[in-house]
Chains A and B, each alone.
Chain A
């Protein structure tokens, strides 16, 4: 499989090694293999793979991860720009569209 990566050096993912206990939760939930557990320590393999979904930060009990999560959906961000609110993707039944598949 060709592994696709998005634009380099833009993601907001932050990892604080000193708070990390090596529990491995982030490794378990990340859909892009951004974290790697080695010798009971966690490392970031490739930040550019991160899609800012927020699953890791949501499940890290020790506050070792910080990420500004949100949907990478152009329509949503344009909506947000127009309304001045947060990005909102109109997925779901009400709008009849389902941008996220």
Chain B
């Protein structure tokens, strides 16, 4: 009775049952799914969709017990979130090993984020250990959770309530096999979260997307502002006057959501708002060289552009704090406390300048 029944499963059931529950023996409680460590094209495509996050989607796996390889009662147990990307990364790193995976119900959110919210937490872990009947699946009372889950999981309470000792594994799944080989000991390196250029690059689509969602509204305001005349809206004016602003707007998104995150450590100052503003200023100056200075036959719209767009890029860059691995809540709060009034003032000021420009165009002042 028990887990050794696995070897009696027909090979097809073991091979092809990815994602399908396999019932072992006659105990309905010992139900788990078998997964392959290798990714299919569907998993890769899912990852891309997920990273771009271009539409609302559920990218989850069912919480519960999973088997990778041919685990038995002596195999290791790893814990992850039911965000499919977290799950996929873990199972890929378990290639060649025989292990169990327990998937917690984190409402489709990754381990770190869910740990912060408490869904990847002590109670969920305790309940899931009981629900999957883990006591009967493995003999060793050891459970390995991702280090970043420590934000939500209190190891002592888990041990007190389940008897399982929580091992905090490496910060990154790719160190798992080295961690096991070293006898479940982490090197100092394995504890640190890295945040290299590639890490930042894959996060930028999630910055560009929400920023671009606001772009149509911005475009509409610009076109109305430039097109409006005492006689109504002139489409020619709207387009000709508004075009440089639309280009500068796109540039702000590009600078704030892509260039600043990418070059983060190389841009001076620690504040993200300052980094974004600085990069924005350089970009606006560079771009203005291309847009003819005499374009508007007035310095007013130029002044408005110089004021507004670096701050737009600064604001967008500040959003990236949510994706980084080293910014603190206190720091972001401080940035916003200073930043928000500055952003509002700059926006109001550039709007005012544009209104004065329009009024002077109409010959009112």
List residues of A whose CB falls within 8 A of some B CB: 1-2, 4-8, 10-12, 25, 27-33, 49-55, 58-59, 61, 68-78, 81, 87, 89, 91-93, 96-101
- Identify 27 residue pairs between A and B in the complex whose beta-carbon atoms are under 8 Å apart, listed by A's number: A1-B196, A4-B195, A4-B265, A7-B270, A10-B328, A12-B330, A27-B191, A29-B150, A51-B325, A51-B326, A52-B330, A58-B153, A58-B154, A59-B150, A72-B327, A72-B331, A73-B322, A76-B322, A81-B340, A89-B322, A93-B59, A96-B53, A98-B113, A98-B206, A100-B110, A100-B323, A101-B323
The answer to whether B181 has its CB under 8 Å from any CB of chain A is no
**How long is the Cα–Cα vector from A30 to B186 in the complex, in angstroms?**
12
Q: Are A75 and B191 in contact (CB under 8 A)?
A: no
**How long is the Cα–Cα vector from A96 to B53 in the complex, in angstroms?**
7
Q: How far is the CB of A12 from chain B (nearest CB, A)?
A: 6
Q: Are B188 and A6 in contact (CB under 8 A)?
A: no
Q: How far is the CB of A58 from chain B (nearest CB, A)?
A: 6
Q: Are B110 and A74 in contact (CB under 8 A)?
A: no
Q: How large is the interface on B (under 10, 10 to 19, 20 to 34, 35 or more residues)?
A: 35 or more
Known contacts A5-B326, A58-B152, A59-B150; A72/B332 CB under 8 A: yes
The answer to whether B247 has its CB under 8 Å from any CB of chain A is no
Q: Which residues of B contact A7 (CB under 8 A)?
A: 270-271, 328, 331, 334-335
The answer to whether B193 has its CB under 8 Å from any CB of chain A is yes
Q: Are A68 and B330 in contact (CB under 8 A)?
A: yes
Query: 13 additional contacts, CB 8 Å, given A5-B326, A53-B151?
Result: A29-B191, A30-B191, A31-B191, A55-B148, A76-B322, A81-B340, A92-B109, A96-B53, A96-B56, A99-B323, A100-B110, A101-B203, A101-B323
A interface, over-half SS: loop
Q: Are B330 and A59 in contact (CB under 8 A)?
A: no
B193-230 at interface with A (beta carbon < 8 Å): 193-196, 202-203, 206, 210
B171-183: CB near A (< 8 Å → 1, else 0) gives 1000000000000
- How many A-B pairs with Cβ below 8 Å? 174
The list of the 4 closest CB pairs from A to B, nearest first, reads A73-B322, A96-B56, A100-B113, A72-B327
Known contacts A5-B326, A55-B151, A92-B108; A73/B60 CB under 8 A: no
Known contacts A4-B195, A98-B109; A28/B330 CB under 8 A: no
Q: How far is the CB of A97 from chain B (nearest CB, A)?
A: 6
The answer to whether B55 has its CB under 8 Å from any CB of chain A is yes
The answer to whether B192 has its CB under 8 Å from any CB of chain A is yes
Q: Are A74 and B318 in contact (CB under 8 A)?
A: yes
Q: Which residues of B contact A100 (CB under 8 A)?
A: 109-110, 112-113, 116, 322-323
Q: Are A93 and B56 in contact (CB under 8 A)?
A: yes
**How long is the Cα–Cα vector from A54 to B265 in the complex, in angstroms?**
25
B238-280: CB near A (< 8 Å → 1, else 0) gives 0000000000000000000000000011100011100000000
Q: Are B336 and A77 in contact (CB under 8 A)?
A: yes
Q: Are B322 and A28 in contact (CB under 8 A)?
A: no
Nearest residue (CB) in A for B320 is A74
Known contacts A6-B328, A59-B150, A74-B332; A93/B57 CB under 8 A: yes
Nearest residue (CB) in B for A7 is B331
- Highest count of chain A CB atoms <10 Å: which of B153, B270, B323, B332: B332
